[in-house]
Amino acid sequence: MNMNRKIITHGIVALSLTFSSVAQASVADTLLQVLRPILGVQVATDYPSADAVDAKINEKNRHVVREEGTVVINQRDAADYDTTASDVYAEMKAAIDELNIFTDATHVYLPEGTLHKDDIIAVSTNLVAGIISTSYEDVAEYVEVDTADGGKFFRVVVTTRQENVVDGNYDVTLVLRGGDFDEQQVELTYVKRQNLVGALAWLHSVMFEPEDYLLSTRASVQNTLARLTALGYGEPIPEPINEVPWCEVIYDTVETGCNYAWSGCPSGTEQISSSSCRLGWWDFGYTGRIRTCQLPLETSCNYAE
């Protein structure tokens, strides 16, 4: 009898725990439904499958663009500008220390005036005329070491934080190759790896083709290399390549005949002006309207090459 009572008791406890777990899971699921949009990250009551995660990674990778560029300056190149390779290295490093690598349309805010590892910094850029975005970044790596040949190796990696218009990183590597004076050279490599996020990603997908973002990123890398090269030589910074594709819509105009006031422009066109007209001999009040309507013929876009 006691044995039966124990079995029944254990069964009730197990059943209670099961109901409790189900109830807790149900509550957790309900809570996550509310929190998921607020948290802005994937949350669930169980670990996702490897296949689901792989699919998500592949989807993210589809939107990432990566552009890399390198400039090599030897002692002969430096002499053309009355300087040396080591001085070019020093000037370039000074510019990178201030993150002076973007065009004048971008402003950088450094808490200590120069870059330091683990700093949080801010970057404001002109997205379009009159629209400025401010994003926050981490200085993930900042290192300079002497090399065995008497040269130097310098690298800075800046990564994005959550409050940003892009996900990605900026990677600048500067090397002064040592050895005999005539053999010294500077090698600058810049890697920009990023993708747009949020509403800006959606807006870009509506306005431009996917490859336009690649061209824009490529232009940005070229601008950075040109800027740092000019600063290394002590020369004026060249006019940057336009990094934002711009489009011009070419229109044709269509003029309607004299129609009733409630009549509109033909489908697919937009009214840009109108004037009064007489619908017939009996229309002494000139109540009709002649409309000039605009018809978009084509969109001509120019992109940074």
Same domain for 131 and 204, yes or no, is: yes
pLDDT category at 72 given cuts 50, 70, 90 is very high
Give all strands of the β-sheet with 270-277 in edge-to-edge order. Answer: 246-255, 288-302, 270-277
Please tell me the least confidently modeled range out of 37-51, 125-139, 155-169. 37-51
Q: 194 lies in a domain?
A: yes
The reply to whether 130 falls in a domain is yes
In a domain, 57, yes or no: no
- Where residue 301 falls among pLDDT bands split at 50, 70, 90? very low
Six token digits for residue 68: 């890399």
Mean pLDDT, residues 175-198 taken together? 89
What span, in angstroms and rounded, lies between the C-alpha atoms of 229 and 72? 10
Looking at the predicted structure, is the pLDDT value of residue 105 above 90?
Answer: no
Identify whether residues 80 and 152 lie together within a single domain.
yes
Give the span between the Cα atoms of 51 and 129, in whole angstroms.
43
Q: Is residue 217 part of a domain?
A: yes
- Co-location of 102 and 213 in the same domain: yes
Residue range 129-145: average pLDDT?
A: 89
Do 158 and 232 share a domain, yes or no? Answer: yes
Question: Sorting pLDDT into bands at 50, 70 and 90, what band is 164?
Answer: low
Query: CB of 169 within 8 A of CB of 181?
Result: no
Question: CB neighbours of 20 closer than 8 A, spacing ≥ 6?
Answer: none
Whether 55 is covered by a domain: the verdict is: no
**Tell me: the pLDDT tens digits for 224-261?**
999 999 999 999 998 887 765 544 556 678 888 898 88
**Is residue 51 one of the residues assigned to a domain?**
no
Examine residue 56 and state whether it is found in any structural domain, yes or no.
no
**Of 233, 242, 238, 225, residue with least CA distance to 302:** 242
Q: Flag whether pLDDT at 87 surpasses 70.
A: yes
**Are residues 283 and 257 part of one domain?**
yes
Question: Does residue 66 register a pLDDT over 60?
Answer: yes
Distance CA 117, CA 119 (A): 6
Query: What Rg do the C-alpha atoms of the chain give, in angstroms?
Result: 31
Q: Are residues 258 and 129 in the same domain?
A: no
Q: What is the pLDDT of residue 37?
A: 66
Kindly state whether residues 103 and 166 are assigned to the same domain: yes
Domain that holds residue 42: 2-46
Looking at per-residue pLDDT, the higher value among 73 and 13 belongs to: 73
Q: What is the pLDDT of residue 188?
A: 97
Averaged over 22-51, what is the pLDDT? 70
> Do the bridges between strand 246-255 and strand 166-177 make them parallel or antiparallel, or are there none, so unpaired?
unpaired
What's the rounded Cα separation, in Å, for the pair 188 and 89? 9
Q: Is residue 52 part of a domain?
A: no
Q: How many domains does the chain have?
A: 3
Mean pLDDT of the residues in the chain:
80
Residue 7 has pLDDT above 50, yes or no: no
**Residues 294, 295, 299, CA angle at the centre, nearest 5°?**
120
